[in-house]
Amino acid sequence: MYKPTSIVLSVVLLGCFSLTIPSVAHAQVLVAQGKNPELKQLLEEGRRLVDTGDYGGAIAVYQQAARLDAKNAKIHSGIGYLYAQQGNYQAALTAYRRAIGINPNNSDFYYAVGYIKANLGDTRGAKEGYRRAIQLNRNNVNAYLGLAVTQSRMGDYTAASWAYQQAIDLDKNNAQTYELMGSMYKQRRQAKQANSLLQKARDLYKRRNDSDGVNRVEAMLRQLGG
């Protein structure tokens, strides 16, 4: 069963929305168990470096671990996650492709590819990454959100609305879904629909004491006069 809490998804307003890389990739590396004592030591050292914010050092250590266990998709995905955190999306894409080559049925890996390609400006590639993630896991809420955002950017609002509705059907209390969908209607100057969705998002953010979310949505509502 897919667990939405295994993915960190935040919304950044820079004229458009951006979804974040799935943190599950990093978490998988941290819990990876190695029968080889040297491998286990490297994984523990990598975790320590990540905890101190030394992503570059962690990448170097995980790369050593990957040489010891080249068929460990979790290690490659963890490297990809850390590269993405540094903004090195090309290297992140290479790492995730290695992970997919080992485990081609991991929905989160394809979600990550969608995210990375979006940041590289490859909207169509991002769409295909999210679609593949959904094919592998029909309960991947965030893949539906990623697909909705890319479809909206491509001007296919019917497909975007469908993807948002799928996300709502899976999780009716996900504030980000209503915020993203409301923003889409706001950009299309459909104020009534935007107001309704954004008010729902604000209520859900208030319910979980997310002041950043509340402030962000209220700013949009003020622009709409709501």
Tens-place pLDDT, residues 143-183: 999 999 999 999 999 999 999 999 999 999 999 999 999 99
Determine, yes or no, domain membership for 48.
yes
Residue 81 belongs to some domain of the structure: yes
How many domains, in total, are found in the chain? 1
CATH of the domain at 56: 1.25.40.10
Q: Phi, psi (5° rounding) for residue 3? A: -110, 110
**Which of 30-39, 77-86, 110-119 shows the lowest mean pLDDT across its residues?**
30-39
pLDDT, averaged across the chain: 86
pTM metric for this prediction: 0.84
Q: Is the dihedral of CA 84, 215, 151, 14 positive or negative?
A: negative
pLDDT at 212: 93
* Domain interval for residue 40: 35-103
Distances in Å between the alpha carbon of 194 and those of 60, 160, 173, 204?
46, 15, 17, 15
Domain contains 177: no
Greater model confidence, 32 or 58: 58
**Is 1's pLDDT higher than 60?**
no
The model's confidence at residue 21, banded by pLDDT at 50, 70 and 90, is: low
Whole-number Å distance between alpha carbons of 201 and 58: 37
Asked if 109 and 77 count as a contact pair (C-beta separation under 8 A), the reply is yes
Which residues have a Cβ under 8 Å from the Cβ of 54 and sit 6 or more positions away?
Answer: none
**Planar angle of CA 116, 121, 123, nearest 5 degrees:** 85
Rounded-to-integer distance, Cα 136 and Cα 54, Å: 33
DSSP secondary structure code for residue 36 in this structure: S
The answer to whether the beta carbons of residues 168 and 182 sit under 8 Å apart is no
Residue 96 lies in a domain: yes
pLDDT recorded at residue 187: 93
| 8 Å CB contact between 146 and 152 | no
Average pLDDT over residues 29-58: 81
How confident is the model over 69-81, as a mean pLDDT? Answer: 91
Mean pLDDT, rounded, for 182-190: 94
Is there a domain that residue 73 lies in? yes
Is 79 a member of any domain? yes
What is the per-residue pLDDT for 51?
A: 87
Per-residue pLDDT at 37: 85
Q: Percent of the chain at pLDDT above 70?
A: 84
Residues 6+ apart with CB under 8 A from 219: none
Q: Which residues contact 165 (CB under 8 A, 6 or more apart)?
A: none
Taking Cα atoms as reference points, which of 133, 122, 28 lies closest to residue 77? 28
Radius of gyration, alpha carbons of the chain: 19
Range 84-106 average pLDDT = 95
pLDDT confidence of residue 22? 53
Residue 89 inside a domain? The answer is yes
Residue 40's pLDDT is 87
Residue 54: inside a domain, yes or no?
yes
- Locate 203 and state its tokens: 């209520």
Q: Residue 29: what pLDDT?
A: 53
The pLDDT assigned to 18 comes to 45
